[in-house]
């Protein structure tokens, strides 16, 4: 086989490219796999076919999630019935919601505005409209934010419009 050399060179190049990709993926993933210590925990619960969220301070939201810009959040995602997947495409973040397991993922919302939360794992009839709204707000001044939190925890039950109004004010 006189023409073997060419093929070995080619295979070598392919392997080198793959090693580069694998190493870079390893690098990025080690970063993504470790949430910052000071991250706020948000418990995300999926059910056919809606989302509930519970903040660290006990505030609960249904179908809407309010976060503050530039604060790291860690989401603890689980499901009560079938497998769902917690996905916010604008922040390129997703993790499956598996019943009987708590999966976690973290990110820092670096952009204020209104974003889409959707289910990305087939979960039956209304899978396509299992959506929620993500509101990322500009951080308010320190004292004001404190006030909001106490205000919200006072109405500690599943009343989304009120909870939303409290945070958005």
By CB under 8 A, is residue 46 in contact with other proteins?
no
Residue closer to other proteins, measured from CB, 20 or 169: 20
Q: How far is the CB of 119 from other proteins (least distance, A)?
A: 7
85 lies in the site for other proteins, by CB under 8 A: yes
User: Among 33, 56, 57, 70, which residue sits at the site for other proteins (rule: CB under 8 A)?
Assistant: 33
What values do phi and psi take at 22, rounded to 5?
-65, -40
Least distance (Å) between residue 144 CB and other proteins: 33
Judged by CB under 8 A, the residue of 53, 65, 73, 121 near other proteins is 121
> Which range of residues in 64-72, 122-130, 137-145, 150-158 is near other proteins by CB under 8 A?
122-130
User: In whole angstroms, what is the distance from residue 159 CA to residue 169 CA?
Assistant: 16
In the chain, % helix, strand, coil (3-state, to 5) comes to 35, 35, 30
> Residue 77 Cβ, how far from other proteins at the closest point, in Å?
8
């Amino acid at each position: 086989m006189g023409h073997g050399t060419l093929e070995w060179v080619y295979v070598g190049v392919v392997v080198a490219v793959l090693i580069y990709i694998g190493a870079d993926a390893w690098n990025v993933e080690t970063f993504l796999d470790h949430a910052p210590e000071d991250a706020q925990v948000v418990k995300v619960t999926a059910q056919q076919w809606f989302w509930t969220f519970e903040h660290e301070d006990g505030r609960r939201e249904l179908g809407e999630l309010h976060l503050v810009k530039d604060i790291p959040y860690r989401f603890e995602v689980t499901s009560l019935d079938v497998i769902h997947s917690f996905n916010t495409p604008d922040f390129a973040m997703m993790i499956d919601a598996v019943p009987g397991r708590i999966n976690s993922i973290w990110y820092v919302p670096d952009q204020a505005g209104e974003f889409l939360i959707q289910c990305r794992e087939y979960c039956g009839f209304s899978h396509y409209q299992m959506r929620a709204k993500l509101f990322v707000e500009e951080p308010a001044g320190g004292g004001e934010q404190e006030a909001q939190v106490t205000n919200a925890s006072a109405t500690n039950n599943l009343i989304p419009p009120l909870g939303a109004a409290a945070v958005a004010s």
